[in-house]
């Protein structure tokens, strides 16, 4: 795969033909109201606070962040579970943020979502067959028997016995349920799939199965994924490009290889250093950057750079001026930090950091 072309989404130029979706300055604020009869707004949870990125057709963009970063909110905005506060989400020629009625319905057919918890995301009162067939019934993709045949075919595709069509979700294990949710999402052949922590609720020995299944389907159907997760190891495995989110904004957006070998934001660096590696030899060699303090409240976001309260290299300018997300290398490696050139020095004593990971991309 070629290195990511420098798409700087902050510039408002015409969309490059390769992009399937372009998110521009997306804002999602949830109002906080007081009073019962006469409600008035006393503040807002700034879950997503101005985010721009583009996803190329056929790639997987990994969106990583910790709880409260707003990463799931972005996914839910994209399928219009929320009405966005402002901003655009261009999908083909249409703006997902503005679509209504019939237009929204046709767009929904092309954008599908897989949720985190397969125990919660399947209607317990519906049989597996009815669940998988439902999107096809809604969009009337064929006759009753055609849909039935297609449902059984889909079950086979995701690795389940087609004889299971009349069973109910509670008869399946977590991994099997997530397969059902995937079959449901791909039944109407979407172009773009948002996967919100699709493996986090699963047992460790099951995660690999679901990840492999998703990757196989991507190749077979030419799907584009937005893969939302908190797990850096998983995202390293599935994503072609990775966006790192903190408190409602993107901190860094880069090619996978670049992000892991040459992170340009101190938050990314802290995240990477915090992930435990199942190998005691490696673990004993590592030195962690332990972030101080807690995540600030999204109601009261720090002024200046929103990461400065916990940043190990913060200077006075960071408390005043919010750094823009800009290309730091000329090769499409975006970071929002005043001192991105100092980030590498955070990994103290790292003599060799640059064994090339050419094979990774």
Partner 1 sequence: MDILQQPDAPQDARAAALELTPDLVRKRRSQLRIIFDRFVRNRAAVVGLVILSSIILLAILAPILTHKTASFDPANTIPDNPQLLAPPSLAHPFGTDELGRDSFARMLFGAQVSLLVGFTSMVFAMLIGATLGALAGYYGGWVDNTLMRVVDAMLALPYLLLLFVLSIVFSNGSVGSVVFIIAILAWPPTARIVRGEFLSLKHREFLLATRTLGAGDFRLMLRHILPNAAGPIIVNATLLVGLNIINESVLSFFGFGLTPPQSSWGVLLGQSQTFFGTDPWMLYLPGFAILITVLCFNLIGDGLRDALDPHMTQR
Partner 2 sequence: MAPILEVKGLKTHFRTRDGTIKAVNGVTFDLDEGETVGIVGESGSGKSVTSLSILRLLPTPPAEITEGEIVFEGEDLVSMDERELRKIRGGKIAMIFQDPISSLNPVMRIGDQLLEPIHLHLGLKGDVAYRRAIELLRAVGIPDAERRIRGYPHEFSGGMRQRVMIAIAIAANPKLLIADEPTTALDVTVQAQILELIGKLRRDMKTSVVLITHDLGVVAGITDRILVMYAGHIAERAPTGELFENPRHPYTLGLLASVPRLDDVGVNELQTIPGAPPDMLNPPSGCPFQPRCPFVIDKCSTYPPEVTVGPGHKAACWVDVTAPSEIERAKQRGFLPLRPVGGSFIGETRDSVK
Among partner 2, partner 1, none, residue 99 binds (CB under 5-8 Å by kind): none
C-beta closer to partner 2: residue 19 or 255:
255
Q: How far is the CB of 164 from partner 1 (least distance, A)?
A: 8
Among partner 1, partner 2, none, residue 149 binds (CB under 5-8 Å by kind): none
Q: How far is the CB of 270 from partner 2 (least distance, A)?
A: 6
- Choose among 244, 249, 228, 246: nearest CA to 49: 249
Q: How far is the CB of 122 from partner 1 (least distance, A)?
A: 6
C-beta closer to partner 2: residue 101 or 351:
351
Among partner 1, partner 2, none, residue 168 binds (CB under 5-8 Å by kind): partner 1
C-beta closer to partner 1: residue 48 or 318:
48
C-beta closer to partner 1: residue 57 or 167:
167
Are the C-beta atoms of residues 96 and 143 closer than 8 Å to each other?
no
Are the C-beta atoms of residues 283 and 299 closer than 8 Å to each other?
no
Q: How far is the CB of 226 from partner 1 (least distance, A)?
A: 13
Instruction: Round to whole Å and give the CA distance between 360 and 256.
Output: 8
C-beta closer to partner 2: residue 189 or 287:
287
Beta strands in 69-197 (DSSP E): 86-91, 94-95, 111-114, 192-196
Strands of the sheet containing 94-95, edge to edge, are 40-56, 19-34, 86-91, 94-95
C-beta closer to partner 2: residue 216 or 319:
216
Which residues contribute to the site for partner 2 (CB under 8 A)? 66-67, 173-176, 203-209, 211-212, 215, 230-234, 236-237, 260-263, 269-291, 293-295, 344, 347-357, 359-361
Are the C-beta atoms of residues 82 and 76 closer than 8 Å to each other?
yes
Burial-class residue 254 by CB neighbours within 10 Å (0-12, 13-18, 19+).
Answer: buried
Q: How far is the CB of 259 from partner 2 (least distance, A)?
A: 9
- Spatial neighbors of 196 by CB under 8 A, at least 6 apart, are 72, 75, 76, 113, 114, 115, 116, 228
Are the C-beta atoms of residues 183 and 210 closer than 8 Å to each other?
no
Q: How far is the CB of 247 from partner 2 (least distance, A)?
A: 12
Instruction: Round to whole Å and give the CA distance between 293 and 272.
Output: 18
Question: Which tokens go with 104?
Answer: 């929204």
- Rounded to 5°, the CA angle 69-62-1 comes to 160
C-beta closer to partner 2: residue 230 or 342:
230
Instruction: Round to whole Å and give the CA distance between 209 and 100.
Output: 37
Among partner 2, partner 1, none, residue 183 binds (CB under 5-8 Å by kind): none
Q: How far is the CB of 120 from partner 1 (least distance, A)?
A: 4
HSE at residue 191, side-chain half, CA atoms within 13 A, is: 12
- Spatial neighbors of 186 by CB under 8 A, at least 6 apart, are 112, 154, 157, 193, 217, 221, 223
Q: How far is the CB of 212 from partner 1 (least distance, A)?
A: 5
Which residues contribute to the site for partner 1 (CB under 8 A)? 76, 79-81, 105, 108-109, 111-113, 115, 117, 120-126, 134-135, 138-139, 153, 156-157, 159-161, 167-168, 170-171, 173, 176, 181, 184, 188, 209, 212-213, 216
Among partner 1, partner 2, none, residue 280 binds (CB under 5-8 Å by kind): partner 2
Among partner 1, partner 2, none, residue 96 binds (CB under 5-8 Å by kind): none
């Amino acid at each position: 795969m070629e290195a990511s072309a420098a798409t700087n989404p902050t510039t408002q130029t015409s969309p490059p033909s390769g992009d399937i979706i372009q998110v521009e300055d997306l804002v999602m604020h949830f109002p906080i109201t007081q009073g019962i009869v006469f409600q008035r707004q006393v503040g807002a949870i700034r879950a997503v606070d101005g985010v721009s990125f583009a996803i190329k057709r056929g790639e997987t963009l990994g969106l990583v962040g910790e709880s409260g970063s707003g990463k799931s909110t972005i996914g839910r905005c994209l399928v219009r579970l929320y009405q966005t506060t402002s901003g655009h989400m261009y999908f083909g020629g249409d703006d997902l943020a503005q679509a209504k009625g019939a237009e929204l319905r046709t767009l929904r057919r092309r954008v599908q979502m897989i949720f985190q918890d397969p125990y919660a995301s399947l209607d317990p009162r519906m049989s597996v067959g009815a669940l998988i067939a439902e999107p096809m019934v809604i969009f009337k993709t064929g006759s009753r028997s055609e849909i039935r045949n297609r449902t059984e075919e889909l079950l086979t595709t995701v690795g389940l016995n087609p004889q299971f069509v009349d069973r109910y979700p509670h008869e399946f294990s977590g991994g099997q349920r997530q397969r059902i949710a995937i079959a449901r999402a791909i039944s109407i052949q979407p172009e773009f799939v948002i996967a919100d922590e699709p493996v986090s609720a699963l047992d460790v020995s099951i995660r690999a199965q679901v990840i492999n299944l998703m990757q196989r389907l991507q190749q077979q159907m030419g799907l584009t994924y937005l893969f939302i997760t908190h797990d850096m190891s998983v995202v390293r495995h599935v994503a072609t490009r990775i966006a790192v989110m903190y408190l409602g904004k993107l901190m860094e957006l880069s090619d996978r290889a670049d992000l892991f070998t040459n992170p340009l934001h101190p938050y990314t660096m802290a995240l990477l250093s915090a992930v435990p590696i199942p190998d005691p030899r490696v673990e004993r060699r590592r030195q962690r950057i332990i972030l101080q303090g807690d995540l600030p409240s999204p109601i009261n976001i720090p002024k200046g750079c929103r990461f400065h309260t916990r940043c190990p290299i913060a200077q006075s300018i960071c408390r005043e001026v919010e750094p823009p997300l800009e290309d730091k290398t000329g090769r499409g490696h975006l970071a929002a930090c005043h001192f991105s050139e100092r980030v590498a020095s955070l990994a103290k004593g790292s003599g060799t950091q640059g064994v090339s990971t050419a094979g990774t991309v």
